[in-house]
A and B are shown apart, each in its own frame.
Chain A
Amino acid sequence: MNDLTELRDLFAEKAHPTADRLASARTALLAEARAKRRPRAAGLRRLVLAGGLVAAMTTGVIVVQTFNSAAPASGAEVLRLAAEAASAAPWPEPRDDQYLHYERIAESRSENGVPNVVPRHITGEVWESVDGSRPELWWHKPAKSIPRGNESKELLPRCPSGPGSGRLAYADLRGWPTDQEQLRRKLAERGNQSLLNKDVATQIWGGVVGVLGSPVPPKQQAAIFEIAATLPGIEIEELKDATGKSGIAVTRVDNRGPGGAISRESLIFDKTSYVLLGGQELVPGRGRELWSITRPQITDVLPAWSKSLKPTECV
């Protein structure tokens, strides 16, 4: 036996502690954690106290219970809770020279065998230049369901014209107003780029869901939710996001579908934290598309493998 083996045996009979032994340290930790819970605005606190989330410690087990009676009653209430959650979320402000790195999952499905909706499932990672001055990196991973499916890696510069020219950088959004009236105009302009000749509320909703498809600074995200809460025609339902997680969705019904068909476009939120999980567009009888953004992080550099990629050319 060598010296390390002998040493490993020394006092090795010491047993793992029992849950009882650890209980007081765990209780002390939980007490501090509860005291440090971020103060939230009255609406959300009322929800928590009314039984939205109760964590009780019983010999080392956290018990989580949800009571439906405290669930929000309207889409507007969900969006206001989401605005509070966005304001309270800890999120270090990235520098302009950094990247936002996140995972994007998108899935589309046809309904009733409609041929012109191509079923697809994309899992990708995105590195988005915070101020848009450097190319954005996209890594589309092959879908597990498609053997030898296409994998693609692309460096996409922000071009003055052509595809992606209107893409908003995170830093652009940081400069957006949080004043309700000005922000409504911004969102309507944004929505109007893809939805000509629609009413203002539909344009604003189009701007809201378009902008929220990428990470948005918490302050602006909260302000956008506040505006969406004032729009007519929103309702709540339970939907699964692109990762399969069940959430509470705010859906607006309008006639944005092909040929003026009914379209139900939703934002999906976590049922307890009201953090935005993703969204869905459903055109009944034709198909649906789901998307989620997960694991957002801030990073200084692109992965080393991207050095071999050439940026795509602007047209």
Chain B
Amino acid sequence: MPLSTTLSDAALIERSWRDPEDFALLFDRHAGHIHRYVARRLGDDTADDVVSETFLAAFRQRRDYDIARPEALPWLYGFATNFIRRHQRAEVHRYKAYSKVGVLPDAVDAAEQAVERASAHAVRRPLAQALASLKARDRDVLLLVAWADLTYEGVADALSIPIGTVRSRLNRARAVVRDALGSTDPMTEIS
């Protein structure tokens, strides 16, 4: 369908001002990325809700979108981040649980748990512990860079903060992660 393949995100959003249903094409383009990102932080079930809330909120604010920005992913990640914050305690609990037993609390079946436990070597558990210990705003910046692959500019757009603030939050978060990794021997497997 040419509309969904040839137009920039900005052009699609602009079209949706007149034809609201065109916004569904933006969903088709990006919902998978947003879902996977949120699911890594909160698990699939919560990600289902966050993705739905994200696109509804973005749809309602589509007229505020700056159409000079062709890529809408940072804008969408900004909404997603706001909804993720509502589940902050669950997110921290999730990382802590993983750091203790090597299994995520929302792992759905025994086979998945076994795979997770097997892969939860000495690096992953302290990493999860480090994520749990970060301030929420530092964790947001770190994970938007590491998991959502946003540039510093993209993170600044997503969170409506200056690039300097992105850098300082990222540096702070990376220092915590490096400390956590420094205290482990990555060659040691935990069974």
Contacts and interface: CB of A to CB of B under 8 A. Distances in A.
B146 interface: yes
Interface of A: 1, 3-4, 6-8, 10-17, 21-22, 24-26, 28-30, 32-34, 36-38, 55, 57, 60, 62, 88-90, 273, 275, 297
Interface of B, helix, strand, loop or mixed by DSSP: helix
Contact of A28 (B19, B56, B119): B56
Contacts of A17: 31-32, 35-36, 39, 44, 47
Interface of B: 1, 16-21, 23-25, 27-28, 31-33, 35-36, 39-40, 44, 47-48, 51-52, 55-56, 59-60, 63, 67, 104, 115, 119, 123-124, 127-128, 131, 142, 145-147, 174, 177-178, 181, 186
A33 B23 contact: yes
A60 B27 CA distance: 9
B177 A7 contact: yes
Contacts of B35: 16-17, 21-22
B123 A62 contact: no
Given A6-B123, A25-B52, A29-B52, A11 B40 contact: yes
B31 A25 contact: yes
Most chain A beta-carbon contacts within 10 A, residue among B17, B31, B131? B31
B36 A29 contact: no
A29 B174 contact: no
B19 A29 contact: no
B36 A15 contact: yes
A29 B52 CA distance: 7
Contacts of A297: 67
Contacts of B16: 33
Contact of A26 (B27, B177, B181): B27
Contacts of B40: 10-12, 14
B32 A8 contact: no
24 contacts: A3-B177, A3-B181, A4-B146, A8-B146, A16-B35, A17-B32, A17-B47, A22-B32, A25-B52, A26-B24, A28-B56, A29-B52, A29-B55, A32-B20, A32-B56, A33-B20, A33-B24, A33-B59, A37-B20, A38-B18, A62-B25, A90-B63, A273-B18, A275-B18
A6 B127 contact: yes
Contact of A16 (B20, B32, B119): B32
